[in-house]
Homo-oligomer: A and B are copies of this chain.
Amino acid sequence: MTTKHLNRIYPLSREKVTIHDAFWAPRQEINRTKTIPYQYRQCKRTGRIDAFHLDWTPGKKKPHIFWDSDAAKWIEAASYSLTHHPDSELEVLVDDVIDLIVSAQQDDGYLNIYYTAVEPEKRWTDLEGGHELYCAGHMIEGAVAYYEVTGKRKLLDAVCRYADYIASVFGTEEGKMKGYPGHEEIELALIKLYRVTQNEKYLELSRYFVDERGTSPHYFDMERQARNHEGHLKPVVGHLEGEDVNKYHQSHLPVREQEHAEGHSVRAMYLYSAMADLAYEIGDENLFNTCKRLWSHLVHKRMYITGGIGSSEKNEGFTSDYDLPNETSYAETCAAIGLVFWNHRMVQYECDSKYTDLLERALYNAVLAGVSLDGEKFFYANPLESKGDKHRSEWFDVACCPPNLSRLLASLEEYIYSESDHDLIVHLYVQSRLQTELAGKKVTIEQTSNYPWEPQVDFAIQLQEKARFGLKLRIPNWTSRYRLEVNGEETDEGVTLEHGYVRIERDWQDGDTVSLTMDMPVFRNYAHPAVKDAVGKVALQRGPLIYCLEQADHEASVFAVELPESSDFQVVFEEDVLNGIAAIEAKAYARTSASEELYQTDKSFKETAIKAIPYFAWDNREDGAMVVWMKEY
């Protein structure tokens, strides 16, 4: 098609990186030892595993149309966790599940619980709502992950057969269906399958799905008519009208003509991720520019300060520009995870810190809030304000978020570093060790830090022989000043600033050290005046962390607290609170009342103090109100 992108970088693969910090490593450990087994038990308990026996009979509870994906995401998460933690018991369990899944594959390669066991005659009749291609995508991702970690091909071969069959059904060629998925996912999965198999058929199928989307005549319009407007989406979004119907699944326009982030936000993120992947693989600048346009719209008009996206429960997605209500924010955990996926892909194509800043914003706030500190309760929607009535759940009927969180946490190693032919790029500051080859030389780098609590990051470089390469360190957008030392001394030699990354090119020697110290003040965020629910308020931030006030730390109602413009902040490390956090304390005022009258002509205050905690840690103590945006005095 076109030439490959020349400046591309690529993520260091998971096995080259070991995380051993105080922040993420324990979370990965909880994810591995608690959440992943817990999710298996939930899948088992709810019938999501056994449904692959295809033994549903009329009268029994129907399997959901997306159960395949829950099992697949569990396989994917388990696979990632095996990378650094071989666990033969877990591996046997995965193998058993894979045996069962593969046993459900039909002779022609088709593999789907619902449309095999419940409505076999309806295969491919409800691409818009039936989630068949979505489930196929997740199964491919699970298969690729398990193959990468274990080398075992059984599921990979099965999904290749499935993908081959799908390629025989869909396409622009005569006799094929010109359909595409209502819930995007398979597009990005096929790129993964292409990367691991090098079979260009899968790359081409992904490109077909992306480029066919939204073209005329409109596939879903025709499909809906053929189904007499019945189908799986009707009970979910039957209330949508006009162009909102196709915006819901980003098919309102051909993809390359889209300018605004629209519709169901998880679908949007998975589509945009696939677009960035495709642009990367085939050097498609037009497609990448479409991504940039959508990115700019999303970031400037439709994103919560936490990196949460999708304002409304009604479409689980985007509404209108600047419509970002706090209490009713949807901000689905999966959508924030999708934002991480997408920005991780964007930065590989164009190494600009704006993508990593956004990835980090979503990761440390909107994503991380999705799971409780004990790893066993989950938010589906992530409000920025609560009266005290919103709490994480142990599981969901539509259980996309828990395994999505698990697979991201279990693969976090991929997100920290990238490399290119001449550079090692540090995106995230997470204490870890990497071992790779750069410029043909083996290199080990130890990253030491207590991020996100402390702003100092040190790198110790181990080399068997000298090597010349660029070390690129991201300068986050939350800092305005940093100090860089090489071997204990500030230096300008070979140092350049490139799109938010400081790059040090030199002949590195064994024992070289690099230190980056960033100013990490508490600062106040103000919203654009068009954001009606945040304008006039303030949100505190330190480093990548957005803070909130929880009622548990306050005597006065958190809604009645007003932070003086002049208040200084104290950062207090509390080892025993919420598994250890840096809290922010400040003097403040709280509205009081001289009487029990609801409406009064005098206003009165009392002095009080606030103690803000990181947003991700909220709702891990007793019930109570919470605000991210607080009033300023």
Q: How many copies does the complex hold?
A: 2
Q: Is the CB of A536 within 8 A of B599?
A: no
Instruction: Give the docked Cα–Cα distance between A280 and B597 (Å).
Output: 27
Q: Which residues of B contact A528 (CB under 8 A)?
A: 593, 596-600
- Residues of chain B within 8 A (CB-CB) of A603 are 524, 526
CB-based contact B531/A598 at 8 Å: yes
Nearest B residue (CB) for A631? B536
Q: Are B559 and A525 touching (Cβ within 8 A)? A: no
- Is the CB of A530 closer than 8 A to any CB of chain B? yes
Interchain CA distance A378-B301 in the complex, whole Å: 34
**Contact between A299 and B598 (Cβ–Cβ < 8 Å)?**
yes
CA gap between A525 and B601 in the complex, in Å: 5
A582 on interface, CB distance cutoff 8 Å: no
Is A529 a contact of B592 with CB atoms below 8 Å? yes
CA distance A323 to B388 in the complex (A): 12
| Cβ–Cβ < 8 Å partners of A590 in chain B | 529
Flag whether A226 is at the interface (Cβ < 8 A).
no
A598 to B625, CA, bound (A): 25
Check if A117 is an interface residue, CB within 8 A of chain B: no
A524 CA / B300 CA spacing, docked (Å): 35
- A600 CA to B322 CA, complexed, in Å: 14
CA distance A590 to B305 in the complex (A): 21
A305-332 to B contact mask, C-beta < 8 Å, 1/0 = 1000000000000000011000000000
Flag if A593 contacts B560 (CB, 8 Å): no
Task: Give the residues in chain B near A305, CB-CB below 8 Å.
Answer: 598-599
B530–A560 touching, CB < 8 Å: yes
Residue on B with the closest CB to A605?
B529
A173 at the interface (CB under 8 A from B): no
- Asked if A532 lies at the interface with its beta carbon under 8 angstroms from chain B, I say yes
- A591-B535, A591-B536, A631-B536 in contact; A526/B600 too (CB < 8 A)? yes
Return the chain B residue nearest A539 by Cβ.
B599
A556 within 8 A of B: yes
Residues in A578-600 with C-beta less than 8 Å from chain B: 590-593, 596-600
Question: For A539, what are the chain B residues with a Cβ–Cβ distance below 8 Å?
Answer: 599
Q: Tell me if A527 and B300 are in contact (CB < 8 A).
A: no
Closest to A302 in B: B598
Contacts of A631 in B (CB 8 A): 536
Interface residues of A in 371-402 (CB under 8 A from B): 387
Q: Is A303 an interface residue (CB 8 A)?
A: yes
Binary contact readout A278-315 vs B (1 if CB under 8 angstroms, 0 otherwise): 00000000000000000000011101010000000000
Cα distance A602–B560 when bound, in Å?
Answer: 23
- A598 — which chain B residues lie within 8 A by C-beta? 299-301, 303, 305, 322, 527-528, 531
Q: Does A509 contact B (CB under 8 A)?
A: no
A258 within 8 A of B: no
Query: Does A170 count as interface, using CB distance less than 8 angstroms?
Result: no
Kindly state the separation between the CA atoms of A602 and B538 in the bound complex, as whole angstroms. Answer: 11
Which residues from B are CB-within-8-Å of A591?
Answer: 526, 529, 535-536
Say whether B601 contacts A526, CB under 8 Å.
yes
A56 on the B face (CB < 8 A): no
In the docked arrangement, what's the CA distance between A531 and B562, Å?
14
Expressed in whole angstroms, the minimum distance between the Cβ of A525 and any Cβ of chain B is 5
Q: Is there contact, CB below 8 Å, between B600 and A525?
A: yes
Q: Is the CB–CB distance between A599 and B525 below 8 Å?
A: yes
At the interface, yes or no: A13 with Cβ under 8 Å from chain B? Answer: no
Q: In the complex, which residues of chain B have a beta carbon less than 8 angstroms from the beta carbon of A436?
A: none
Q: Which of A476-533 contact B (CB under 8 A)?
A: 523-532
A420 part of interface (Cβ distance < 8 Å): no
A557 within 8 A of B: yes
Closest residue on chain B to residue A606 by CB atoms = B529
Residues of B within 8 A of A301 (CB): 598
Q: How far is the CB of A452 from chain B (nearest CB, A)?
A: 18
Contact B601 A524 (CB under 8 A): yes
Q: Of B526, B535, B562, which one neighbours A557 at CB under 8 angstroms?
A: B535
A631 to B533, CA, bound (A): 12
CB distance from A537 to the nearest CB of B (A): 9
Q: Restricting to A531-579, which residues have a CB under 8 Å from any CB of B?
A: 531-532, 535-536, 539, 556-557, 559-560, 562
Q: A526-B591, A526-B602 are in contact. List 7 more A-B contacts (CB 8 A).
A: A299-B598, A525-B599, A525-B600, A525-B601, A529-B590, A529-B591, A536-B631
Nearest 9 A-B pairs (CB), nearest first? Answer: A532-B559, A529-B560, A529-B591, A526-B603, A536-B631, A525-B599, A535-B560, A528-B593, A528-B598
Chain A residues with a Cβ under 8 A of chain B: 299-301, 303, 305, 322-323, 387, 523-532, 535-536, 539, 556-557, 559-560, 562, 590-593, 596-603, 625, 631
**Cβ contacts A to B, 23 pairs, < 8 Å:** A299-B598, A300-B596, A300-B597, A305-B598, A387-B532, A524-B601, A524-B603, A525-B600, A527-B598, A527-B599, A527-B600, A528-B598, A528-B599, A529-B560, A529-B590, A529-B591, A530-B560, A532-B560, A532-B625, A535-B591, A536-B559, A536-B631, A539-B599
